[in-house]
Structure 1
Amino acid sequence: MQSPAPHRARKRFGQNFLNDQGIIRGIVRAISPLADQRLLEIGPGQGAITASILDTDCQLDVIEIDRDLVQILEDKFSGRDNFQIHQGDALKFDIGALAGAEKLRVVGNLPYNISTPLIFHLLSAHSCISDMHFMLQKEVVERLAAGPGSKTYGRLSIMAQYYCAIESLFDVPPEAFSPQPKVQSAIVRLTPYTELPYPANDVKLLQRVVRDAFNQRRKTLRNTLKGLISSEGLEALGLDPGIRPENVSLESYVAIANAVGDAQENNIAE
């Protein structure tokens, strides 16, 4: 009987399969799954990390969009009691429904073409997640971990750090994958806060403030936020209206959003 043809990585799904055993062991050590935990793996591919996680006897759910890979994964792991596969799009997956009463640990080699929207999707379910370990394009990890004053600091940095502590763990070279990507990769850990360090009164308003600020990041805060808050309002918060958005801290963005929200409430009351 002829063996099935090997799976070809599909560009439309951003597939690059990890095959370096040393890197795989390093990732699983960083995650350190325990037998009484439930993990969700996004984009398991051909199961390189999946197998090592299952060996820890934790409960592992995986979500995979590629039907051909779903079949490969079922053939490899369907006999394992602690394995459950979901065929579908991770961007539309209901994390909360899967988590139930217990928090999930999320892991994944995220496709570079959807990594940012997928991270925002997961952040929206932060209360259901205990931690996240991702393989990402190194540039995205740098953006996640960036602080004020950095050229990579922006909307993703602020909203990820609003919800999570961020740790860049280690780099992964292109040679660890097949096919080799044209970019460097890195492993990052995101740990959602039990209590937010700088809680916003209205998270959607905070998101709007940050989005407006960075839509034209080369302009001053006075100009990017002129539709929301005046120069006098910024000065009242101890901020220089002439600084650029990349030099404003998360704490200050929350303060701006809260001030905008208070002003809007006062206008409605009047």
Structure 2
Amino acid sequence: MKKKYGKNRPGKGQHFKNEDSQGEVRAKKHLGQHFLKDENVAEKIAETLTYQGYDYVLEIGPGMGVLTKYLLKKDIDVHVIEIDTESVIYLNEHYPPLHGKIHEKDFLKYDISEVFGKDQFAIIGNFPYNISSQIVFKMLELRDFIPEFSGMFQMEVAKRICEKEGSKTYGILSVLVQAFYEAEYLFTVPPTVFNPPPKVDSGVLRLTRKEDFSLPCNEKLFFRVVKTAFQQRRKTLRNSLKIFDLPEDIKEDSIFGLRPEQLSVARFIELTQKIEPHAV
């Protein structure tokens, strides 16, 4: 897991060698970088994608390419996006097949259609903890083009994304992701496989887009309802959704007496359908 995004450019840091490389990239504290050093884990992550139904894979934050080398063995066109200039130099020097396919950009700000147009592509990576949720939200915006998504998060975040209703950790990401994707928590990764080791366990998940991923309701309103409901998760929906200024007779429906973590994705869709005729 490599936390690679930040406002600053590379500065002082520690040096860590990739196990089978002849070069090195500095692990920069201000970017929160943790380099995956276990080849078996890297290969296992590369195997989480099916490589079916698309021609491209985009790896976010490849660092020194410990995962990239296994992606390049697949019959797929691999691109990487990396904000760390030193890592970009390293990748260009050590992975000739990536020439022309290394994008020194911030994934959160970059219009990825400049690379893939309207073609389908998968996303994979050892995602930086500090922006992992933002990466998932960006992926959801691009869901029409991303049939598969897999990678490593802080374990708690990975489990939250895959959680079902009724759990205290079930939240905005759980509902929004599972509305469009099947979510699977695959395996846990200990801190010892990183250099330097993080203070928490990591978790790897896989998201597979549903065959029919259109919703039978206004999708923008669905996002708004889910986010608004969980902003005051301890309140019943009758109270947390006051911003919608709904008629009193609508709020008498029993669903408004529930708290957001009690609603499945299907029931959030039902809730959105009830609100839609009255939403401003």
Letter in 2 for 1:162: A
What is the alpha-carbon distance in structure 2 between the residues aligned to residue 81 and residue 174 of structure 1?
A: 29
Q: Is 1:7 the counterpart of 2:22 in the alignment?
A: no
**Pairing of 1:79-98 with structure 2 (within 5 A):** 79-80=96-97, 84-98=101-115
User: Is the contact between residue 70 and residue 87 of structure 1 (CA under 8 Å) also seen in structure 2?
Assistant: yes
Q: Is 1:208 the counterpart of 2:263 in the alignment?
A: no
Runs of 4+ in 1 over 3 A off after TM superposition: 229-232
**Pairing of 1:209-224 with structure 2 (within 5 A):** 209-224=225-240
Q: Which residue among 156, 163, 176 is the counterpart of 2:180?
A: 163
**Residues 80 and 63 (structure 1), Cα distance of their counterparts in 2 relative to 1, 3 Å cut:** same
Deviations, residues 152-199 of structure 1 (Å, cap 9, x unaligned): 1011111111121101111111111111011111110011223127x1
User: Is the contact between residue 24 and residue 90 of structure 2 (CA under 8 Å) also seen in structure 1?
Assistant: no
Worse overlay, 91-100 or 248-257: 91-100
What is the alpha-carbon distance in structure 1 between the residues aligned to residue 99 and residue 211 of structure 2?
A: 28
- 2:259 maps to what in 1? 244
Letter in 2 for 1:41: E
**Residues 109 and 231 (structure 1), Cα distance of their counterparts in 2 relative to 1, 3 Å cut:** farther
What is the alpha-carbon distance in structure 2 between the residues aligned to residue 82 and residue 29 of structure 1?
A: 23
- 1:54 maps to what in 2? 72
- 2:63 maps to what in 1? 45
**Residues 182 and 247 (structure 1), Cα distance of their counterparts in 2 relative to 1, 3 Å cut:** same
**Displacement of 1:235:** 4.5
User: Is the contact between residue 96 and residue 125 of structure 1 (CA under 8 Å) also seen in structure 2?
Assistant: no
Relative to the length of structure 1, the TM-score reads 0.88
Q: Which residue among 165, 173, 190 is the counterpart of 1:148?
A: 165
- 1:72 maps to what in 2? 90
**Residues 222 and 140 (structure 1), Cα distance of their counterparts in 2 relative to 1, 3 Å cut:** same
- 2:213 maps to what in 1? 196
Unpaired stretches in structure 1, ≥5 consecutive residues: 266-270
Question: Across the two proteins, how many residue pairs are aligned to each other?
Answer: 259
- 1:268 maps to what in 2? none
**Pairing of 1:89-168 with structure 2 (within 5 A):** 89-168=106-185
Q: Which residue among 258, 261, 266 is the counterpart of 2:276?
A: 261
User: Is the contact between residue 151 and residue 246 of structure 1 (CA under 8 Å) also seen in structure 2?
Assistant: yes
What is the alpha-carbon distance in structure 1 between the residues aligned to residue 100 and residue 70 of structure 2?
A: 12
Letter in 1 for 2:268: Y
Secondary structure at the residue paired with 1:44? coil
Secondary structure at the residue paired with 2:62? coil
Secondary structure at the residue paired with 1:123? helix
Give the structure with the larger helix fraction. Answer: 1
**Residues 219 and 172 (structure 1), Cα distance of their counterparts in 2 relative to 1, 3 Å cut:** same
What is the alpha-carbon distance in structure 2 between the residues aligned to residue 226 and residue 187 of structure 1?
A: 37
What is the alpha-carbon distance in structure 2 between the residues aligned to residue 118 and residue 81 of structure 1?
A: 23
What is the alpha-carbon distance in structure 1 between the residues aligned to residue 216 and residue 83 of structure 2?
A: 35
- 2:15 maps to what in 1? none
**Displacement of 1:141:** 0.9
What is the alpha-carbon distance in structure 1 between the residues aligned to residue 90 and residue 63 of structure 2?
A: 9
Letter in 2 for 1:227: I
**Displacement of 1:11:** 3.0
**Displacement of 1:83:** 6.5
- 1:21 maps to what in 2? 39
**Residues 230 and 37 (structure 1), Cα distance of their counterparts in 2 relative to 1, 3 Å cut:** same
Relative to the length of structure 2, the TM-score reads 0.85
What is the alpha-carbon distance in structure 2 between the residues aligned to residue 114 and residue 148 of structure 1?
A: 24
Secondary structure at the residue paired with 1:48? coil
Secondary structure at the residue paired with 1:135? strand
Deviations, residues 102-159 of structure 1 (Å, cap 9, x unaligned): 3101101110000001110011001111201111111111110111110110111111
- 2:8 maps to what in 1? none
**Displacement of 1:15:** 1.5
What is the alpha-carbon distance in structure 2 between the residues aligned to residue 48 and residue 264 of structure 1?
A: 49
